[in-house]
Each structure stands twice: as C-alpha cells, then as structure tokens.
Amino acid sequence: MDLIVASDIGTTGVKVSAFQVGSLVAVASNVAGRTVCEYYKMYHMVHPGNSMIEQLPKDWYDAYLECLAGVLEDLAMGHSNEFQIKALAFSGQMQALCLVGSQGPLRNAVLFSDARAREEAMFLDDRFGAEALVERTGNYKGAVSVLAKLLWFEKHEKELLATAEKILLGAHSFVVWTITKEANCDFTTAGTTSILDRAESGWATDILKTCGLESVTEKLPQLVAPDHITTTISKLWDIPGLQELLSDDTIVYHSSSRDILVFHGCGDLGTTTLGANHISPNPYMYVGTSGWLAETITKKPVSVKSPSVSYIAHPRKEKEIRVAPSTTCGGSIEWFRRVLATPGLTYKDFDDSCAVSSPGSNGVLFLPHLAGERCPDNVPHARGAFIGLCLSTTQNEMRRTVLEGVAFHFKWLREAMDIDADTMTLVGGGSKSFVWSQIFADILGCSIVVSSEAVDIATYGAASIASGVLLANHKGSTNTNTPKLFSPNASHTQLYNKLYTIWRSAFGQLSETTLVLRQVVEGGEFALT
C-alpha cells in the first residue's frame, strides 16, 4: 500500500499523519487505544518582552522527528500490509520569521502574532498607506506584518540580520530546509507577509529597497508552488536525526521505502482551505490556537473595503483565498486552563461544564484579544477581559463565555467580509466541541457543518497536494462521511444579537483603556526595584 506522510507544523504543536495515496483515507493503527496512524507533540511559545511572541525552531524539528518516528513505528507494528512511503508533504504556521545560517537558526523565530514592530508599522503607514499596501500585496496587518518586523530587525538586531544567510517565513519551510537545505516559500505563505507583489507573483523588492532593506532581498527564499518537489531522498534515514529514534525492527520494515519525494507544501491557510472545500464549498471558519474566516474566490483585483481582510494565493493558481484572521481562539481556552482552571482540567471537562451554563453566561462577556487583534480592526494593544463578573458568577459561566467571546469575534469578521451564507463549515480543533459548534450556529444565526475529518484538515490538505502529483489524473477523494449539522436556535440568536452589540461597544471602549495601560507598563511604572 502506497502512503503519504503529511505533517502540520502548527502554533502549539506538530501533527504527523499517514494517508493512502489516491483515496487519502487515514491509515488505521494497530496500536491499542489509537484509531489512526497519527502522532501529535506540543511545544510552547516564548515571551521575551511585551507584545513579543517567539518559538524555538529546534522545537519544531524535534517535535516533527518524534511524531514521524511514532508514525513509522506504528506502521511497522503488527501490520500485515507492506506499506511503501512515497512522499512527505508539509503544512505549517505562516509568518514565522526565522533567520538561519549554515549551522541552523540564529535566534528564536518571531511568530505571526508578535506585535513588537509598532513604530515600524507607523513608518509604513506614513510612507505607503495601509490600503496601498493591501492593494499591492494582498495583505497588510501593521505591527504583526513581516515587513514591519524586518524593519525592526534592521533597527534592533542589524548585525544578526546581516549575518543571516536566508530568511525563512513558515515553520514548515524551516523543517523542509533542515531536511534538504533548500530555502523555499510557497505563495500562500508569501501572501501573508506584505512583501509579495500580488500581481507579479514575485517579491516586492522595490518596497524593500524603499525601506532600506535592499540586502534582505538576497536572503529571501525561492518562491515555489505547493506541489514543488524540494528533493528526493533515497531512504527515510536521510532525514537528519531520525534513525536514532527508530527501533531496529522499524528500520528493517521501512527499508523498502525508497526514492521518497519531499514536497514543500504550503502554509496552513492553503492546506486547511483545500481540506475545508473537500467537506463543503461554503465559507468556513478555522478554529485552532488562532483562527480565521475564509472563502475561496476566483482571483481578481483587490477592492479595498477593509484593509484587514486579506487576499492570499490559493494552492490552485486560478483561485484566491479571501480571509479575515482572529489572533486568539483556542488559545483563549488554553490560557483559561493554565491560569484560572482547576489543575488537571481536561478539554472534555471544559466542554462539558460549558454545556451546563445557559446561553449568555448569565450576563458575563469575554473579549478574547489576549495577544492583540488584527481584524477587523488592527489593534495590537487590545487585551482580553471578562465583563459583568459578580459574586454569583460561576466557573461554568466563565468557561462558556470564553467560547461565546470567540464566536462573537467571528460574527464581527463575517460582517467585515460581508458574507451572507446560510451555511458555514467549522474546522480545526474547535470543531471537536459540539457545544462550541452550537454556540457558533446560535451567534452567527446560520447552520454550521462539522465533519469527522475537520480536526485533521491541514494534514489532509497537505496530503492531497502530494497525491495530485503522484496520481496525475487524481481529482481528489470523495467525502464519504456524513457531516453533522448544527442549526441555530432562534431564541438564542435573538439574545446573542443583543449581547453582541454590547460586546462590540465594550471592545471599542476598552481598546482606549488598554492603550493607556500599555503606555504605563512600557514606561516602567511596574518595574520592581
């Protein structure tokens, strides 16, 4: 049986899954307690300063190796089939700015949600204008944009930037670079950076030169299609660091897998869109650590209605992804579990407790902007808040309002994108929660479609790219799963519409407060002596 091993190098962890070529059915596991041949490994973010969010690229690669080794061991354990691995395919978090030299990364990677480059964003706004940058590049998000961060490096870490041999822009690109030493970037990831010339499908080198970043142009990765074959490895042990993680029996079992294609793949927006469109052609919401609302459109000139709505290259050349991001979705739950919940609270416990509380959480609202926000308003200084707490407020109500607050933000994104769909698809880890799925239906006032494939959507999308090359006439697998439909409750929607108006007002008013707070904190008033 021919297999594709697909990997998603995400914000909070790595997932590696095995799929059959052609059908793209996930391979079953023979290990007790496991249903599919899939492994996941978490890692953490680093916060070296206010609004700074980083990760160690080494953590990405180490987690990838551990998960890949787990999948290979799983495949070899008790299977009567002889599996032949034909390809490795990749997806991953985008705008993960990583400076590398010949020996590896030169510093931590700066993530998409990092908002350190506020002064540099002000310069870009004055020099070019936000709307003009969106027209040119399809995407501009101020302080969190790669363009602004490159200016920050030029100002604050100039020598390090000069030392870098290459600048990588996605977590999956770093993993592929570590395996192959080829520095590439797919067009989907490039489209999120504000340095891609959308019309010319090349780097906007004139913008970089105008910003005094001419030397950076030589360090940018090569732009490639998602089905670009980076290299062919003769055997799996050519992957640096893998062999020592495998048992002798597993090495023998997989010794027949030869001439394995390594596909660069594309950023998680692209692979997730492919997977979501496999479930349904409707607009879809991705709810992971972060999230977005997106739809697939025919490529056309950008008409700027909201600079925060982006137009990003689709894995299929004739298409484009129209998308509005949300910075902190499932990340809000993780924060709550880490800071406020009883130790040991599982995600299932969290979900079950939310079902106990009634819609509206007894008048408690939550603003999920724990790391600022990019869309619809670009407010990097925005912060999270519980509003309406009282002596009778319960843990269950606080948990439910976290889910409601994220859904309110998606309602705002939907308005900004002017999407009027009766049905939308929900994918990502958030789709595992039936409580959250119903909350989305009630708050958005539309039906929500959830498929059993929705959780592994990015690895599925990456595998579909590779499968399309391995089988030249492959048109994509047929969705044989019956999706679950969540219909809105009219009375709940009526209540949520009233609460949403209050929620929007609170965001606007508290944004001014959090700006002043940020100025106080950065002024050193909270520094301890």
CA dist list (Å): 479 to 19, 129, 462? 14, 44, 16
Q: Of 478, 485, 421, give the one whose Cα is nearest residue 450.
A: 485
Whether the predicted model's global pTM rises above the 0.75 cut: yes
Angle CA 339–343–348, to nearest 5: 95
Q: What is the pLDDT of residue 89?
A: 97
Q: What is the pLDDT of residue 342?
A: 81
Q: What is the pLDDT of residue 453?
A: 74
CA distance 415 to 377: 12
Question: Phi, psi (5° rounding) for residue 342?
Answer: -65, 135
> SS3 for 119?
helix
> SS3 for 373?
strand
Q: Is 56 among the domain residues?
A: yes
Query: Total domain count for the chain?
Result: 1
Contact 324, 148 (CB under 8 A): no
Q: What is the pLDDT of residue 241?
A: 97
DSSP line for 26-87: BPBP-STT-SBSEEEEE---B--STT--EE-HHHHHHHHHHHHHHHHHHHHSS-SS--EEEE
Strand partners, 413: none
Q: Is 503 among the domain residues?
A: no
Contact 503, 405 (CB under 8 A): yes
Q: Is 183 among the domain residues?
A: yes
Q: What is the pLDDT of residue 306?
A: 62
Q: Of 442, 447, 451, 407, give the one whose Cα is nearest residue 423.
A: 447
CA distance 127 to 136: 14
pLDDT in tens, 315-345: 998 899 999 999 899 999 999 999 998 888 8
Q: What is the 3-state secondary structure (H, E, C) of 79-116?
A: CCCCCEEEEEEEEECEEEEEEEECCEECCCEECCCCCC
Q: Of 215, 219, 221, 212, give the one whose Cα is nearest residue 120.
A: 212
Q: What is the pLDDT of residue 470?
A: 78
CA dist list (Å): 431 to 295, 355, 400, 459? 18, 15, 15, 16
Residue 419's H or E segment, with its range, is: none
3-state helix, strand, coil in the chain (%, to 5): 40, 25, 35
Contact 175, 105 (CB under 8 A): no
Q: What is the pLDDT of residue 176?
A: 98
Q: What is the pLDDT of residue 26?
A: 79
DSSP line for 138-174: S---GGGSHHHHHHHHHHHSHHHHHH-SEEEEEHHHH
Residue 217's H or E segment, with its range, is: none
> SS3 for 178?
helix
Contact 108, 46 (CB under 8 A): yes
Q: Is 265 among the domain residues?
A: yes
Q: Which residues of the chain have pLDDT under 50?
A: 473-474, 527-529
Q: Is 198 among the domain residues?
A: yes
Q: Is 70 among the domain residues?
A: yes
Give CA 247 to chain center in angstroms: 33
CA distance 280 to 299: 20
Q: Is 189 among the domain residues?
A: yes
Q: What is the CATH number of the domain that holds 108?
A: 3.30.420.40
Q: What is the pLDDT of residue 523?
A: 72
Q: Which two tokens stand for residue 485?
A: 């439909």
Domain around 27: 2-269
Q: Is 400 among the domain residues?
A: no
Q: What is the 3-state secondary structure (H, E, C) of 468-524?
A: HHHCCCCCCCCCCCCCEEECCCHHHHHHHHHHHHHHHHHHHHHHHHHHHHHHHHHCC
Q: Which two tokens stand for residue 120?
A: 């540099």
